Every structure is written in C-alpha cells, then in structure tokens.
Amino acid sequence: MDNLRKKFKRNNLYLDISALGESDTFVETIGIHPKFWFLVDDHKYLAKFDSYKKTSYGEIIYNSLAKQVLDENYIVEYDFVRNYEQTGVVCKSFLGEGESFLHGADFILKYTNGKQNETIADILMYFGVTNGFNHINFIKDIMEKAFEGDKVRLKENMTNFFRMFVLDCLCENIDRNLRNWGVIIDDQTGKVKRLALIFDNGHVLGLYGSGKHYSKNYVLHYYEDHEYFGYGQADELISILKCEDEFYREIIKEVITTIDFNMAIKDVEQKIGGKIELHNIDRIRDDFNMNLRKIKKETIREEKKLNKIYADYENKIVLSEDEQLEVIKIDNKLIKYLISPSHNVQIAAVRENYHNLKYADKDNIEVKKAAIDSSYKALTYFEPSDEEILIYAIRQDAKALSFVKNYTPKINKEICKRLQHDQSYLTFLNQPPQEIIDYCFAMKAKKSLSR
C-alpha cells in the first residue's frame, strides 16, 4: 500500500484517486457496493465505495482489530479512498501469479461433490451463529480434504478461520456469507494453497443500512427491531467457549483477552492522520467493551467449574442425575461432556436445543417429543417413516408438513385436519397426492357455497 500512498495525496482523510482515467480502471460487478479495479506500478488495487456512507469505517476498524488477533498474512489492509464525490476504501489484490480465488460456496461444492445443497442452504448466512455451533467442524472436514491431511496447514488455516468467526461475533458482522470468504487455488494444480485473506468486513458494529431507522444514540441497534440487530452473538460465543472442543475454546479465550478496541481506534487515526469522523464512535466503543466484559465475566469466571466438567468427562466419571442437571443448567450443550446422561437430563437438554439429540437416545419417544418441542426441525434427526413423531410434529407446527415423504392414511388424515384450519399449509407439502389436492378444492368449494 505504500506505493499507493506515495502516488496519491490525501484529501481530508481520503487518498484521492480522482485523477485516474476510465482507461485505467475496470469495473467489478460482484457485490452490492460500486467498485472498480486499477493498476499502480503493476500492482492491482480494488476501490470499493460506500452505499450506506458508514461501511468504510467498518472495514477500517475491523481491519485494525484483525491485526491484533489474526496472523498478518491473513489480513487485507484497507485505507480510505476518494474518487470525485464517491468515498470508500481501497485494498491491494491478495492474488499472486498463477493464483485464483474460490469463494466459500464453490469451495464447499468442490469438496462435497455438489451433494450438500441442504447443508449449504443451512450455512448460507455463515455457519451457525444463530442456529447453534453446528457447522464449523463441517468446514474443518472440508479443509482437511483440501489440505490432503497436512495437519500443520490445517491447524494454521482453521485457527485463522475461527479467529475470523470470533471477531465477526464481537463486531456483529451481519454479512459473512459464503461469498465473503474463500480459499486461494493454485492454477496449475487446482489444489488449495491457503485460506484467502479476510476481506469484506464493512457491515459491522451497526455501520450499515440505509439509515431510515438510524438512531445516533443506539448505533448497534440500527433498525427499529432492536432485538434483531442487537449484540446477541455475544451469547453464542459464551456458549461455544463453554461447550466446544478445547481447540475452539482456547482460540476464543486468546481473542477476548487480546482484543483492545481503544488501541484499534488509535491505530486507525494514526494511519489516516486525523480523528474518525463518526459522531457515535464513543457509543460503539462503549457497547463493544461492555459486551467484551460480559463474555469474559460469563466464561473465565466459570473456568474452574468448567474444567472439572471436562476432567470428569475425560476420566469417564458418571455424575448423579442432580449433578448432571446442574451441569446442563450452565449450558444445555454441555450434555456432550456427560457420561451416560440420565433420561430426564436428556429430555431437559433436547427440549432446550434439539441438536443435543446427538448425545441422547434418539429411539426413545419421550426424548423425540422433547426435541420436537424445541423445534419441528428436529425431524432431520429421524427417519421419514417415523409416523408417530411426524404426526406429533405436524400438530406442534404446520411447517413440519415439509418433512412428509410417505403419505400414509394416518398422515393424510392429520394433513387434512391442518388444512381445515388453513389451506395455505398445502404449500408446505412436497408432491402431495391427488386426494389431498382434491380435499383442498372441496374445502374451497364448500366455503364458497357457505358465503
């Protein structure tokens, strides 16, 4: 970036590239922000301009925070840029000679033979931030294939990938979809060389959106629906730190004890030679630090208690039912560290989170029903032919109709009962038999006559 800073002078905080002619640039069409590539001294740069006026600050602040917790060779360096009236950020291409970029979606397809469409849909908007921590090991398995069992490269790349995940949670990144991360491919061999540098980090800290519902006092709640864009991801990090493998727990501890928002802001201001022009930067800082303190308080203070749980598990100690219930009160996902969890403990854990079925007796009808009480999506753990549990799920939630594959007489009877209440439920069904369709038409005709 130094040659770029030498060539273009700063206009206020921005490197002014307005002197570039159309012949010097070529437009990039991917993404929602206007952007173009240009060359300086044979180096390729991408200029990306704000659609929402604030995301450039998100890129710069995230970039500064990333320097504290990620290895340097996994970070894209950004600076502010101006092109006439447009303002945004600029970064250098992270591709070397003979290299290509493969984004996350195509990376997954490449190493799953394109047979994981349902899984990909599940992780399209990241891989589990709001739906439990279910998909990071899926990514790890794919990386293990990509690096052909090279444990050193696997550990290095997964460490930085997971650090990105933690930082995204801390910064409330709402846009880390499958096209906003990826891997670098060797053009000659077609093999994966490494994780791509971390890029496209602007939609963080509430610095996004049209501003229609923007409140200067509550930057982290950018829209009217405060709960939706609140700092809920902090709770997910807390749960991961308590419940996941030691590899992930140690990374979270490392990040939350290293990260320093105040130092990041100083780093940004030193780079641009001036103050950050955000009227609510103090509020952003306060909210970030408040949630960081919350994560530390609710995890590190319980470390002694958690370490005993892990040790008991390693030593295959069977706790009493009361002791087991105390464990899952800390976090329901801690059931994975219980040896022979009791029937009541299994029911309590799966009722809180159906993914805990992985550690429960999936053949027990009471456990099954408790999982359905958590969500009809628990049906993913059961056979489509499990008529009793499918009927139970349909009675709980009409969306369970989407899981019907075998239209037995009992199932059809239950479907018709649901359709009596709302015929729009027909849209949940996959290739319903003619008798169900005829039933709907008859119901419509009956309602028309009654009018």
Residue 230's pLDDT is: 40
Q: What percent of the chain has pLDDT over 70?
A: 83
The model's pTM: 0.75
Tens digit of each residue's pLDDT (9 = 90 or more) over 194-210: 999 988 888 888 776 54
Tens digit of each residue's pLDDT (9 = 90 or more) over 237-262: 788 788 888 888 899 889 999 999 99
Tens digit of each residue's pLDDT (9 = 90 or more) over 332-370: 999 999 999 999 999 999 999 998 999 999 999 999 999
pLDDT at residue 331 greater than cutoff 50: yes
Domain regions of the chain by residue span: 2-92, 99-302, 318-382, 391-451
Residue 448's pLDDT is: 56
Residue 224's pLDDT is: 32
Residue type, 424: S
Residue 126's pLDDT is: 42
**In degrees rounded to 5, what are phi and psi of residue 26?**
-140, 135
pLDDT at residue 161 greater than cutoff 50: yes
Residue 115's pLDDT is: 53
Residue 356's pLDDT is: 93
* Least-confidence region, from 113-122, 218-227, 252-261: 218-227
Mean pLDDT of 101-124: 68
Residue 34's pLDDT is: 74
Residue 334's pLDDT is: 94
Residue 149's pLDDT is: 87
Mean pLDDT of 137-148: 87
| Topology agreement, domain 2-92 and domain 99-302 | no
Tens digit of each residue's pLDDT (9 = 90 or more) over 408-421: 889 888 888 888 87
Q: Is 172 left (phi over 0), alpha (psi -120 to 50) or beta?
A: left
Residue 32's pLDDT is: 63
Write down the architecture of domain 99-302 according to CATH: Orthogonal Bundle (1.10)
What topology is assigned to 2-92 in CATH?
Answer: Phosphorylase Kinase; domain 1 (3.30.200)
Residue 220's pLDDT is: 36
Mean pLDDT of 167-174: 84
Task: Select the more confidently predicted residue: 191 or 235.
Answer: 191
Residue 221's pLDDT is: 34
Which of 15-19, 22-26, 94-98, 302-306: highest mean pLDDT?
Answer: 94-98
Residue 445's pLDDT is: 61
Q: How far apart are CA 257 and CA 241, in angstroms?
A: 13
pLDDT at residue 87 greater than cutoff 90: no
Mean pLDDT of 380-403: 91
Residue 137's pLDDT is: 75
Tens digit of each residue's pLDDT (9 = 90 or more) over 1-46: 676 777 777 777 778 787 776 656 766 656 566 778 888 887 888 8
